[in-house]
Amino acid sequence: MKLYSDFRSDTVTQPTEEMRRALMEAEVGDDVLGDDPTVQKLEDLAASLMGKEAGLYVPSGTMGNSIAVKMWTRELEEVIVEEKSHIYNMESTHMTFISRVTPRPLPSERGALAPEIIRKNVRLPSVHTPRTSLICLENTHNNWGGAVLPLETFVETRKIADEFGLKVHLDGARIFNASQASGVPVKDYAKYCDSVMFCLSKGLSSPVGSMLVSDRQTIDYARRFRKALGGGMRQAGILAACGIISLTKMVARLKEDHLRAKRLAQAIYDLPGITLKPVDVQTNIIVLYFNHPKLTIPEFLDKLKENGILALSVFGGIRLVTHKDVDDEDVGRAIKAFKAILTV
């Protein structure tokens, strides 16, 4: 058996054999000069899957989101974000650092911002206040335990955006997980958004990279920001070859991750110290709350590790993520470890 069953994140996924072969054979060029055919193929594929005109390959999701915020805002403006969102909490505050705009974090129902809350917080410019220019959504919502946003949230957000002349950006790091769980095609989420970022390097198992998609003119502009941020990569087709496999071969299997997360949640939710509703586990992320008379979260994580299980503490909770490189045996091992530690 392997040393650890790693439930910390779906970013730990190893590239597949097929990816390793594809990258060896990839036709490459200098992508900053615009002549890497494999990167271009990936960018076109990403755009067409999302129903957008153009795509941009970026080294990380954080860079994709940073570029999107920069594209849609100017200084003295404000961005509406969900209060537990990744873009607001976990990206080293690029909004203030790169775009020089203020985030306006709003409460939600499991990641879904209510239209009346958005509407109340849209600010028109005055000498005292910034102008709201952008609304960011996140689907699936990481810190809400992989929650899938209802399509209605997209419809309503778009209406408000059009009414006030705002842009909508989707942090769709795990948009394919959302689509696999809800049955809503990714295009149907994307059509309500001006830009979408999604990750290849998580459940889709690529070693590196994310995509930003939007209209052609915006992506041309985004390409300049990517260069300015140091994200221009030369023979990046080596990596993009893996991305193409992510999008053509790795999407459908995300359902297996969702089933494993459900199985794990159902087996551990009623153990002492754990607060977790299995119905809230819609995709591949479990966020549980832990309050045990004898164990703190760090002590519990240490004990899990002694039992071969790696998990992370986030937002005062514990996060467990299923992905290609944890199978049924790993899930069984985790269930056994949870029971052994918590039922003494």
Ligand X SMILES: *Cc1c(COP(=O)(O)O)cnc(C)c1O
Binding site for ligand X (CB under 6 A): 60-62, 65, 86, 138, 142, 171, 173, 199, 201, 210
- Smallest distance, ligand X to C-beta of residue 98, A: 14
Around Cβ 262, how many Cβ atoms within 10 Å?
A: 18
- Using DSSP bridges, classify how beta strands 5-6 and 131-138 pair: parallel, antiparallel or unpaired: unpaired
Among 107, 342, 97, 54, residue whose Cα is nearest residue 222? 54
Q: Which residue is nearest to ligand X (CB)?
A: 61
CA–CA dist 191, 211 (Å, integer):
16
Our CB check for ligand X shows the closer of 60 and 307 to be 60
Our CB check for ligand X shows the closer of 6 and 122 to be 6
- Smallest distance, ligand X to C-beta of residue 231, A: 11
3-class state of residue 120 by DSSP: helix
- Smallest distance, ligand X to C-beta of residue 185, A: 20
Amino acid at 36: D
Residue 189 to residues 115, 176, 231, 256: CA-CA distances in angstroms?
17, 10, 27, 22
CB 181 within 8 A of CB 283: yes
Our CB check for ligand X shows the closer of 62 and 133 to be 62
Q: Which two tokens stand for residue 77?
A: 């403006």
CA–CA dist 161, 215 (Å, integer):
17
- Smallest distance, ligand X to C-beta of residue 201, A: 6
Our CB check for ligand X shows the closer of 13 and 65 to be 65
- Smallest distance, ligand X to C-beta of residue 197, A: 7
Our CB check for ligand X shows the closer of 167 and 319 to be 319
